[in-house]
Amino acid sequence: MKTDVWYCAGWSDELNPGPIGRRLGGRQLVLFRDGNGTARALGARCPHRGADLSRGWIADGCVQCPFHGWCFDGGGHCVAVPSQPNDVKIPSPARVPAVPLYERDGVVWISMGSEAPCAAPVGATVPARGRPARRVWFAPHLVAATLLDTLENFFDAAHVPFIHRSFGARQDPLVARRRLVMDPDGQGFRAEDDPASPWQVEARLPSGVLGLLARLFLGLRKPVAQHMTFRVETGAEVYLEYPNRTFDLFRTHLTPADADHTWLFVESLRTRAPHALGDRVQQRAIGKLFEEGRRERTLILDAGPDDRAHPVSVESDRVGLAARNLYERWAGGAAPVRDLDVAVGG
C-alpha cells in the first residue's frame, strides 16, 4: 500500500473518551486524545512486555498501559513508570512509534509513512442546494476481503436484489448500463446511467402504507438524478437527487486493515428528512446492509484446478472493474490515465 497518502482511520467522536484500537495498514494502532484534546495515533504494542495499549486508559492526557501502567504521551514517549520513583530515569527505548494524524470535519486521517503528506486530506463537500445538510457517521465496518475486492463490490449493483434483501427485494435485477467520465487528472471518474442504453431501469419504491409513511415522514421519492463517483485517495460516493431538490449523498472511505481485511467508513449528507427520525432510519438501513453483506464471503469457493483462471465479467461489472483498475494503477505508481477501456463479456 502507498505510505505517502492519507487514509481514513475513523470518526472524531470515536475518540471520546477513548482510547480505541484499530488495525490499519497491517499495524495495530491506538487512537486517543491528549491533554489538549488533540487526536493522536501510536503503535499499540507497549515496549515493556507487549501489552495492547488500546485496552488501557487515558491518564492526564496520556495513554496508560493496562498491564503495568506505563504512560505514553502523544509523541509516543514513555513519561511515567509507576513501579519506580519519578526521579529514576526512564530507559530511552521506552517509546512507541507515533503515526501522522490529521483531523478534519469529524474524520480522523492517518498516514502510514514516517512523515505526514504535504497536502491535507480532502474534506467533506456539500452540494449547493440552499438548505443545511444533515450529516451522519455510521459505525465502522470491517470486511473480510481485500481492498480491491471490497472496492469492486461497492459498485456491484447486480448483487443487491439477492444479498441485500432488506431493501433490494423489490429492486429490478436488471442493471442500467452506465457511462464513465474520467476526471481531468486521471485519478477518478463519474458513473451515471447511459441515456443511449438500449435498456432503462426505473426505481421502485415501497407501496401501500409503508410507502405512504416513507413519503410523508422521510421525503422519499423516485430520484430525478443520480450518479456515482470514485477518487483513488478519497473513496466513492453515491448521489441521489429528488423532485423537490433534496438529496442523499453517501460517502465511503476504504482503508486496508491488512492484506485480507478492509475497513469501510461510511458517512452521509442529506437534505431529505433532516431530522432525528431520518438519522435513525439511515442508521438502521446501513447496519442491515453491513449485516447482510457478511454472507457474501461465505458464498464464494476457492478456485480448483478445473476452474477458469480469471472470472467472467459482464456489462454490470464495468464500473467496479474500472475502479479496481484505476486503484491498482495508482497504488502501483503507474501514470494516470485519461480513459479506462474495461473489457467485459466474451
Q: Which three cell numbers stand for residue 60?
A: 492526564
User: In this structure, is residue 241 part of a structural domain?
Assistant: yes
Residue 62 shares a structural domain with residue 144 = no
CA–CA separation, 294 and 299 (whole Å): 10
Is the model's pLDDT at 345 over the cut of 70?
A: no
> Is a pLDDT exceeding 60 seen at residue 214?
yes
Cα–Cα distance measured from residue 134 to residue 144, given in angstroms and rounded to the nearest whole number: 30
Burial tier of 320 (Cβ tally within 10 Å: 0-12, 13-18, 19+): buried
Q: Cell numbers of 7, please?
A: 487514509
Angle, vertex CA 38, rays to CA 36 and CA 44, nearest 5: 115
d(CA 316, CA 159): 10
In a domain, 2, yes or no: no
In this structure, the answer to whether residues 101 and 149 fall within a common structural domain is no
Same domain, 97 and 209: no
Rg (CA), the chain: 23
For strands 62-64 and 57-59, give the pairing: antiparallel
Residue 177 falls inside a structural domain? yes
Residues 220, 72 share a domain: no
Q: CB within 8 A of 4, min separation 6: which ones?
A: 111, 113, 117
Domain annotation covers residue 339? no
Give the mean pLDDT of the chain: 89
154 shares its domain with 94: no
Instruction: Count CA within 13 A, CB hemisphere, residue 157.
Output: 21
What pLDDT digit, counting tens, does each position of 62-108 carry? Answer: 999 999 999 999 999 999 999 999 999 999 999 999 999 999 999 99
What is the average pLDDT across 139-145? 96
Q: Give yes or no: residues 142 and 106 share one domain.
A: no
| More confident position, 168 or 48 | 48
Judge if 273 and 139 occupy the same domain. yes
Burial 268-286 (b: 16+ CB within 10 A, else e): bbbbbbeeeebbeebeeeb
Nearest to 183 by CA among 321, 7, 339, 4: 339
Residues 144 and 283 in one domain: yes
Task: Tell me if 76 is assigned to some domain.
Answer: yes
Instruction: Please report, to the nearest 10 degrees, the dihedral formed by the alpha carbons of residues 212, 217, 218, 221 taken in order.
Output: 40
Residues 6-32: tens digit of each pLDDT: 999 999 999 998 899 999 999 999 999
Q: Is 152 helix (H, G, I), strand (E, B) or coil?
A: helix
Report DSSP state, residue 336: P
54 residue type, one letter: S
What lies within 8 Å, CB to CB, of 88 at 6+ separation is 81
Residue type, 321: L
Residue 339 has pLDDT above 90, yes or no: no
117 occurs within a structural domain: no
CB-CB contact of 233 with 188 (8 Å): no
pLDDT band at 210, cuts 50/70/90? low
* The residue to which cell 501489552 is assigned: 51
Host domain of residue 199:
134-331
Residues 27, 88 within the same domain: yes
Do both 13 and 51 map to the same domain?
yes
The 3-state DSSP composition of the chain as helix, strand, coil percent (nearest 5) reads 20, 30, 50
- Quick one: pLDDT at residue 305? 82
74, 95, 110 - which closes a domain: 110
Give CA–CA dist 332/252, Å, rounded: 22
| 44 in a structural domain | yes
**pLDDT of 205 over the 80 cut:** no
What CATH code is carried by the domain that includes residue 244?
3.90.380.10
Do 303 and 168 lie in one domain? The reply is yes
Strands, E assignment, the chain: 7-11, 20-24, 27-33, 39-43, 57-59, 62-64, 71-72, 78-80, 101-104, 107-110, 134-137, 141-143, 178-182, 188-193, 225-231, 235-241, 247-258, 261-270
Is residue 139 one of the residues assigned to a domain?
yes
Average pLDDT over residues 208-231: 79
Please name the residue that has the C-alpha cell 479496481. 324
My answer on whether 272 and 204 are in the same domain is yes
Domain closes at, from 75, 110, 145:
110
Q: How many domains does the chain have?
A: 2
CATH number for the domain harbouring residue 31: 2.102.10.10
